[in-house]
Structure 1
Amino acid sequence: MKKILFATVALLVVGAAAPAVGADLGARPYYNKAPAYAAPIYNWTGFYIGAHVGGAFSSDNNFNGLSTGNNGNGRFLGGLQAGADWQVNPNFVIGAEAQYSWLSGNVGAVFPGGIAYTNDQRGLGSITGRVGYTWGPGLVYVKGGYAYSDNNEKVTVGGVPVAFVINGDHRNGYTVGAGIEYMFAPSWSAKAEYQYYNFGDAHFTGGPLVGTGNFTTDDHTFKAGVNYRFNWASPVVARY
């Protein structure tokens, strides 16, 4: 009986001491979970420079019964652009862009009597604002503003240049357009856009083509290009 009583007392003493020993060992360490992954947040805010290629098509004009446009075959264009964007909230972007495109070919018409009008239109420039809607790496936008046409016009009779006068300023005008842009790599985006240029009506007031009618100088252009973007925002990881 003494042995049983002693063993019972010993077990009670060990059981009472166990919680104290556990307390002395301290709480089990807690390991923080790794931060949950969040998709990259694309930031359109910043400056960019780029280049583009495409085609230009002039509207046909019935000028003394002959077409002065070049819709049939079009002309090649290539150029540069630079601009800046500001992403005002997760879905809307505003910006401004300057652009210049060099053109190949010319527009004009040959009239009876060997009289010819030619406009060797060397380039198109524009300064526009734009507003767009973005969803991550994609952006759709509209644009509009000032346009400039680098005209080199001449009238010839039998191949010999002659003096002429045109009223109406068809070098300065307006432009509107729309396009889509996509960020395909850090700092790089690709775009495709349509842009229309209008430089108003004009007609000859001097020279051999007086009285033959009005004509409109305008251009429909389609462009594809790439931009290098500065101030690219690094992907953001959510913290919990």
Structure 2
Amino acid sequence: MKKNLLLAAVSLVALSATAPALAADLAARPYTKAPPAAIAAVYDWSGFYIGVNGGGGSADTSWNLVGFGAEGSHNSTGGTVGGQVGYRLQSGQFVFGIEGQGNWADFSGDNISGITGFRNRTRVDSFGLITGQVGYAWNNVLLYAKGGAAVVSNKYDVYSTVTGANLDRADETRWGATVGAGLEYGFAPNWTVGVEYNHIFLGDHDITFASGAVERVKQDVDMGLVRLNYKFGGPILGRY
């Protein structure tokens, strides 16, 4: 009995001696920090931008010689190149903006008059757009509609179908309205590329030629453009 009590006492002393060492080993184990939460990159469409554009268009034009009747219609087609500057503000996934655009153009077409037998030619040599925009963004993809005012510079000529000589002419700058839509993609920090369609409503307008003849010209313009923009400011927001 005494022997058993002695063995138990010795075991208790040995256990007490090793307990601090075991506690020290546990305290020495390294602490592993949890990995940081992933950050999703979100494209921000807000800010000023400037860019260039190019494409083609068609101006559907009808001439009516006042006091005599309709002379006929033609499509003035060709290419255009220009630039744009604007500002956008993003709220959630909705994007609002305002933009000014100016383009040189070479839309030209003609037809033989059903009244005079001469050739009537229309040429659009420039146009400008001042528009508001509203769009919806899926991260770096933006779909938008636009509308506002348009101004177009036209040149009109009457030619002899026999000699080709210029018989009469007129120039005008006319105002109208425009609507359009576009799709834009942010492909790199601060850079976007997109496609856009615009329709310009110019209606009827009386034009006095050099000879004193008055033509009532009705005109509408359709065009498709490819656009490249540079946006100022940081293009990316971070969110958890």
Given that 1:44 and 1:232 are in contact with CA atoms closer than 8 Å, whether structure 2 keeps it comes out as no
The answer (yes or no) to whether the contact 2:63–2:218 under 8 Å persists in 1 is no
Matched AA of 2:100: A
Q: Does 1:33 pair with 2:38?
A: no
2:2 and 2:208 map into 1 onto residues whose CA distance is: 136
What is the TM-score normalised by the length of structure 1? Answer: 0.80
User: Mapping of 1:1-240 within 5 angstroms?
Assistant: 5-23=5-23, 26=27, 28-61=29-62, 63=64, 64-70=69-75, 74-89=77-92, 91-111=93-113, 112-113=115-116, 115-155=118-158, 159-162=165-168, 171-204=174-207, 207=211, 209-210=213-214, 214-236=216-238, 238=240
Tell me which amino acid in the other structure corresponds to 1:224.
V
The aligned amino acid for 2:236 is: S
Aligned residue identity for 2:75: N
* 3-state secondary structure, aligned to 1:15: helix
Kept after mapping to 2: 8 A contact 1:36/1:237: no
CA contact (8 A) 1:170 1:200 kept: no
Identity of aligned residues (%): 33
In structure 2, distance between residues paired with 1:17 and 1:41: 60
Alignment length, in residue pairs? 230
C-alpha distance in structure 1 between counterparts of 2:47 and 2:40, whole Å? 21
Cα distance in 2 between the residues matched to 1:186 and 1:86: 17
What amino acid maps onto 2:222 in structure 1?
H
The amino acid of 2:52's aligned partner reads A
Return 98-107 or 198-207, whichever deviates more: 198-207
Q: Greater strand share, 1 or 2?
A: 2
In 1, are the aligned partners of 2:60 and 2:221 still within 8 Å (CA)?
A: yes
Q: Distance in 1 between matches of 2:103 and 2:7?
A: 101
Moved more, 177-186 or 34-43: 34-43
Give the Å deviation of 1:102: 1.2
Deviation for aligned residue 1:215: 2.5
Q: What secondary structure, in the 3-state scheme, does the structure 1 residue paired with 2:11 have?
A: helix
Q: In 2, are the aligned partners of 1:179 and 1:192 still within 8 Å (CA)?
A: yes
Structure 2 contact 50–85 (Cα < 8 Å) conserved: yes
**3-state SS of paired residue (2:42):** coil
Distance 1:237 1:11, change over 3 A: farther
Runs of 5+ consecutive residues of structure 1 not aligned to the other structure: none
RMSD (Å) for aligned C-alpha atoms = 3.0
How far apart are 1:15 and its partner, in Å? 2.5
